[in-house]
Structure 1
Amino acid sequence: MMTINNPVIPCVTSLPGGCLQVGSLIIIHGQPTFNSNRFSINLVHQGNMHCIFHFDARFDQGQVVRNTNFPSSTWGQEERSTLLFARNKPFFMEIRCLQDRFMVAIDGNHYCEYSHRVSYSQANTLQITGDVQVSMIEFKSTNTYPTFPSGNRLNVTNPPIPFASLINGPLAVGNEIQVHGQVKPYPNRFQINLQQGCQTYPSPTIAFHFNPRYEGGNRVIVMNSLLGGQWGSEQRIATGRHLAPGTTFVLSIKRQAYNFAILVNGTRIANYAHRIGADIIDSVSIDGDVIVNKVVAI
């Protein structure tokens, strides 16, 4: 592990070990300037300045552009996605190198992937330029992704979906996770997981999986647990009027001594007996056809 504090921008620094490797993780703690127009984070070959991975945040276009500059000094086809950074607001960005692609997370949530167009091992230098301040750069080798900064107990509003975050404290007996949201008008399914670790790879242990399904008009809630990559037997209940398409809801998952109590808008709809020790739970993840207004650990 290597750390660089408060680098001067533009920043050019060699990668540990001489080049990028599978499992390499680069973490950047930064903040766009109050009048930021653009900033770039690049993995390059210092010898010929060939850019293996170009990540360009463009406030003037409201997009992030990703690309590769080939040895012939020509750019490839751009990949674009919506800009999630905000001017003058701190961010926590991770770039992880896999065998076939880069994976990028912003503020603890997976943001995008970028398939290698040339060998990742050609990258030997990190370059940061533009309208951004950087407080720290970390170089690590890890088997998990994303990782997360420490913080206060979970309390977020309007998170993007998919969402995953540490609870930042134990989910003890009497504690609960509340999700305030709305089922989309024409849903297929969504899921809320209480789990150990909030990475997407490798698969975490899921102590409680809550999965409303609407396919084909058959409305059912499936509850389960995932241990060692294997699902257990499903527990099913009817969705009911509380989680009908288009409806708003407050879902509470309360940890009790021997089970989870699941309440929707104050009405208990199910109990789910602990199959895995609930003390392992340190994270919550949400995905699917749902709009989330708030997630809070109480």
Structure 2
Amino acid sequence: MAIYKPTIPVTSIDGGLREGKSVIIIGWILPDANRLHVNLQCGSDSEADIALHISPRYENGSPNIVYNTYKNGSWGSEQSTPDSPIIKGKLFAIEILVTKEAYKISANGKHLMDYKHRIPITKVNTISLDQNIKLEFIGYQNSLVVPYKTLINGGLQPGSSILIFGVPNTDSKRIEFNLRHRYGIAFHYLCLFDENVVVRNTSENGKWEAEERSRGVPFIKGQLFQVKISCNRGYYDVFVNGQQAHTYKHRFTKLEDIDVFEVYGQLQLIFVHV
């Protein structure tokens, strides 16, 4: 997986596109934007062919998304979807899954469109973003499946952090994040929707310690979230959508031995950066 945080609205796609690869764009729409674009292009110049043009539009009080292709100097026939889930001033995540026949386009976990290829994916090598997008991340990855597990190379260190973007299912019962080492779980973060409770704990050799519990699950079913777990010298900070949600003191202090991150529960996992 490659991750970028570019400072310009054009970036190259390392290795180009291929079947099974997803392009993830995460950011905010500036509040005064009327229309904007995300383009998968064949080159970076202003006249480059555009294999996929995704254009959220907010004119006339009816948000929608338009899709098209620009080839040999001309636009093709437009396709569109109403009721855009991409809202001005709020966090959004667009996922473009490349398949043999089409781009499968989703936003905030909601499937929007299967857009059939009009230009071969082998020619696509650049992403262009509108300047009305305040970009958080662009990532290229295979689709993520829950339960999810990934290694933390070299273990945790003070100052390191983990970013998670996802959407709880509308019928979600629980969401769980674990920072694990060889003998147990250093930090267990569990959200129970039915009880509206967040549980934090540590386990070693199969034995759980005393729970920390607090009311108020910081997620809303069906809505995109951003979680940042920051590792400090004496504690973890958990931020949800930019706001501090919880602090948890280290009980397992050999941070370098914490080498696995896990996600469980009923959610669509969009992007993880460890």
TM-score range (shorter-chain normalised) is 0.5 to 0.7
CA separation of 1:176/1:127 partners in 2, compared to 1, >3 Å: closer, same or farther?
A: closer
> What aligned pairs does 1:123-272 form with structure 2 within 5 A after superposition?
123-142=124-143, 149-150=164-165, 154=168, 167-169=174-176
Between Structure 1 and Structure 2, how many residues are aligned? 168
What value does the CA root-mean-square deviation take over the aligned residues? Answer: 3.4
SS in 2 for 1:16: coil
How far apart are 1:16 and its partner, in Å?
A: 1.2
After the TM superposition, which segments of 4 or more aligned residues of structure 1 sit over 2 Å from their partners?
141-145, 147-152, 163-167, 175-178
Q: Which letter maps to 1:79?
A: Q
Once residues 4 and 98 of structure 1 are traced to their aligned partners in structure 2, the CA distance between those partners, rounded to angstroms, is 23
Q: Which letter maps to 2:266?
A: S
The answer for the alignment partner of 1:283 in structure 2 is 266
The answer for the alignment partner of 1:112 in structure 2 is 113
Q: Which letter maps to 1:16?
A: D
> What aligned pairs does 1:34-113 form with structure 2 within 5 A after superposition?
34-46=31-43, 49-61=48-60, 62-70=63-71, 72-82=72-82, 83-113=84-114
Once residues 106 and 21 of structure 1 are traced to their aligned partners in structure 2, the CA distance between those partners, rounded to angstroms, is 20
How far apart are 1:25 and its partner, in Å?
A: 0.9
Once residues 284 and 150 of structure 1 are traced to their aligned partners in structure 2, the CA distance between those partners, rounded to angstroms, is 10
How far apart are 1:108 and its partner, in Å?
A: 2.0
Deviations 1:149-179 (A, max 9, x none): 4569x5x8xxxxxx68684139xxxx7869x
Is 1:4 the counterpart of 2:4? The answer is yes
How far apart are 1:50 and its partner, in Å?
A: 0.2
Once residues 173 and 109 of structure 2 are traced to their aligned partners in structure 1, the CA distance between those partners, rounded to angstroms, is 9
CA separation of 1:166/1:54 partners in 2, compared to 1, >3 Å: closer, same or farther?
A: farther
- Tell me if structure 2 keeps the 8 A contact 1:23–1:143: no
- Tell me if structure 2 keeps the 8 A contact 1:108–1:164: no
Note the residue ranges of structure 2 that are not aligned, 5 or more in a row: 149-162, 178-191, 196-262, 269-274
Once residues 20 and 123 of structure 1 are traced to their aligned partners in structure 2, the CA distance between those partners, rounded to angstroms, is 6
How far apart are 1:4 and its partner, in Å?
A: 1.2
TM-score by length of 2: 0.53
The answer for the alignment partner of 1:295 in structure 2 is none
- Tell me if structure 1 keeps the 8 A contact 2:109–2:166: no
Deviations 1:108-138 (A, max 9, x none): 2222221111212111101101411011111
How far apart are 1:140 and its partner, in Å?
A: 1.3
